[in-house]
Amino acid sequence: MKTKKIIALMLSLALVLGVVASCAGSTSESSSEDTTASTAASAAASVAESATDASAASTEAVTASDFTERTVATDVADEGDEVVIYGWNDEFPGLVNTYAPDVAHTEVITESNSYQAKLDQVLASGEDAPDMFVCDADYASKYMSSDNTIAVNDLGIAYSEFVNEMYKYTMVWATDDNNVIKGLAWQACPCGVYYERSLAEQYLGTQDPAEVADFFADWDTFMNTARDVNEKSDGKVKVVSDYSDVFRAYLNTRSEGWITDGQLTIDPVIEDYFDMAKALYDEDLTFQTGQWTDAWTGNAANKSTLTYWGPMWLSWSLNLRDEANPTFGDWGITSGPTSFYWGGTWMMASKYCDMKASVATIMRNIAIDKTNLQDMIDTNGEFVNNISLMTAVANDTTFGLDFLGGENPYGILLDTAINIDNSTVSKDDQAINDAFNTVVASYCSGDISSVADAEAQFQSAVEDLGLL
């Protein structure tokens, strides 16, 4: 089992590489010179400095020897006419068009709710199978651990090309049962707490990121903040839109995964989540919107919800970057009670791939090429999967994002990224998480009367999935 202590070994690399790396400076979402931006930049710089200082304590870095490397193919060639790419939206095809424009390719996009079913069908039959496809974090391990994907070494990509630069958790996630790396990610997804500055000023008495963090220092403090904001606003403002908004923060801090030695494990952290979710529900401290509903997203635009918890990609999902959003520029980012992550996208080649040279080019150009990764930072405000680049931008006092009022978020997020522990991840997590959240909803609504009964129903649901 990997531990946070092991992940922390990456810190020395961040220090060394951060010194020699350069950042392009201001982004298209240029830094602001107002007081808000100055305060935000100062706070973020302080966090980044802390992360850099912490890195000095480590003397070891991630190396290729941490993984099992196959013989790197030297005769990689294309045997077809174009790369067939499967995905669930146009994000990845857009990256291919931008960073690998000379690679002939076609895309097959399937709605996310049926994407895995489509993949499973074509990978089982081989008919219309893709050369490469992308997977979300919740189910990437399912395909990495199967024989439906091939190692990056089989594409001619050596570990030495990337292993010293990428966050270890993103590579651990991409390994099969033999510790062979089978996929690459261009992004890392550490999470922070997005907060609406004007609401924070009104109900917390401050909008400074470091001071706002104090209101979420631990879960008891979070609950006190939730009650206080609800009372002061007469229920018009909630600290989160739905109790599930903090689920990932609990999930990522478990010491054990869902299944251990064939038995369902209910980590103490999970029991804490039951209690917290129930309290938020019973005390009417959220809007009970559920994640991904129109109401949930809409609350990011109507000055009703103090915080949203997530990574950089969440800001697009919530339209925080849309200048037409009435709350554009009114957001900040700070830290929560714990380091956590959410999501990410991995590229992998299928066992049917006959365009290995071109697939290797796509992977290198999107996940390894530092010029392209820097461009993703500068043009999209992405948190890329490159330690030296992210360390550099975290310490760049000229960098800021307009939707965050000129704040540089990367110092806060860097501190989280270097502490990510994904040792509890398994290939069946998505199905188990879905079953768990269904049970939690029933418990909160009162359809299940006790935590013990909820756990029993959860056990039964996992058994029905054939996982025990």
Question: Does 454 fall in a domain?
Answer: no
Question: Does 407 fall in a domain?
Answer: no
CATH number of the domain bearing residue 72: 3.40.190.10
4: which residues sit within 8 A by CB, 6+ positions away? 419, 421
Helix/strand/coil for 131: coil
Average pLDDT over residues 325-342: 95
Question: Does 433 fall in a domain?
Answer: no
* Cβ atoms of 270 and 454 closer than 8 Å: no
Containing domain of residue 107, as a range? 64-188+343-392
Q: Tens of pLDDT along 57-75?
A: 333 578 889 999 999 999 9
What predicted TM-score, i.e. pTM, was given to this entire model? 0.85
Q: Tell me the C-alpha distance between 364 and 362, whole Å.
A: 6
Query: In one letter, which amino acid is 48?
Result: A
Question: Does 432 fall in a domain?
Answer: no
Question: Does 331 fall in a domain?
Answer: no
Q: Tell me the C-alpha distance between 399 and 26, whole Å.
A: 5
Which residue stretches of 102-206 are H helix? 112-125, 137-144, 168-173, 197-204
Question: Does 369 fall in a domain?
Answer: yes
28-42, 93-107, 394-408: range with lowest mean pLDDT: 28-42
Average pLDDT, whole number, for the chain? 88
Question: Does 291 fall in a domain?
Answer: no
260: which residues sit within 8 A by CB, 6+ positions away? none
Over 80: is that where the pLDDT of 246 sits? yes
User: Among candidates 123, 119, 98, which has minimal Cα distance to 110?
Assistant: 119
Residue 49: the pLDDT is: 52
Average pLDDT over residues 403-422: 89
- 303: tokens are 């000055």
Q: Could you tell me the end-to-end alpha-carbon distance of the chain, in angstroms, rounded to an integer?
A: 21
Number of domains in the chain: 1
Residue 152: the pLDDT is: 98
Q: Tell me the C-alpha distance between 302 and 289, whole Å.
A: 14
Residue 8: the pLDDT is: 37
- 415: tokens are 């501190």
User: Among candidates 149, 160, 168, 117, which has minimal Cα distance to 2?
Assistant: 168
